[in-house]
Amino acid sequence: MESGQDIRALRDLLAWQVELGATEAIGDAPVNRYALAAGEAAPGSAAARTEAAPPAERTREDDPVAVAKDLAEGARDLAALRAAIAAFEHCDLKRGARNLVFCDGNPAARVMIVGEAPGRDEDREGKPFVGRAGRLLDRMLAEIGLSRAAEAPEHAVYITNVLPWRPPQNRDPKPDEIAMLLPFVKRHVALVDPAVVVLMGNISCQAALGRRGITRLRGHWTEGYGRPALPMFHPAYLLRNPAAKREAWADMLELKARLEEGP
């Protein structure tokens, strides 16, 4: 039997180790680490247990992008697509937003505008491009004979965003948020089937083209979502940088010329 002095010494040693942060036993027996092969985990250690544990199986239901694809592909019309987005539970933005911002304008329009994400005004009203940025966009469109309120397809526009929910503090969407919601955007464009798509802002270009740099991309026709696409400055950017309105006006004239050429 150990003496009381030995027991006190062991208790003092244990208390000293606890003060140093050693609060968890990871093995039942001492390990001669000099005898271990390079890179080999000590028996009973956390690393050894991790190596021994089989990887958790990831199901399709755990993959946000796969879930979004399934929901989007199952939508046969715009009403069904809106319901599918509302049923999507993998995006945390949904929990902090007031409203789902789906669309505005005429779905028969030849022009479809894809913006970035809702801001405070859009989140409150449940429509894309409202507030100061929306009013500026409406004035720009009116100058070339277009309106979100027009009934005739040749004079109408249809508007949506890459994200249907407002990011906190109007921050830029994260890459994983864009990726998980992109299947809905693609299906949205396919259902509307516009003649041209206007990509407004960096986030819209990133989603459609896989590229950013709106100052270089704007004004140059490309292909997005399988259709002719024209990148443009976002109206919110123009409010912060009025000098860029000259380029924005040139882009609007380019859009008008393309529409006048016909299908």
| Domains recognised in the chain with CATH numbers | 61-260 (3.40.470.10)
- Whether residue 84 is predicted with pLDDT greater than 90 in this model: the reply is yes
Q: Is 117 exposed, middle or buried (0-12, 13-18, 19+ CB in 10 A)?
A: buried
State pTM to two decimals. 0.77
Lowest pLDDT segment from 8-12, 22-26, 84-88, 123-127? 22-26
For the CA atoms of 64, 67, 69, 71, the dihedral, rounded to the nearest 10 degrees, stands at -130
Percent of the chain past pLDDT 90, that is, above it, reads 75
Quote the DSSP letter at residue 176: H
Distances (CA, A) of 176 to 6, 64, 90, 122, 244: 58, 9, 11, 22, 30
Residue with the larger pLDDT of the pair 30 and 239: 239
pLDDT band of residue 62 (cuts 50, 70, 90) is confident
pLDDT at 1 over 50: no
Cβ atoms of 180 and 68 within 8 Å: the answer is yes
Res. 10: pLDDT tops 90: no
Q: Contact, 79 vs 87, CB < 8 A?
A: no
Strands 227-232 and 222-224: antiparallel
**Sheet containing 157-161, strands listed edge to edge, beginning at the edge strand earlier in sequence:** 104-105, 157-161, 111-115, 196-200, 227-232, 222-224
Checking if the pLDDT of 227 tops 50, the result is: yes
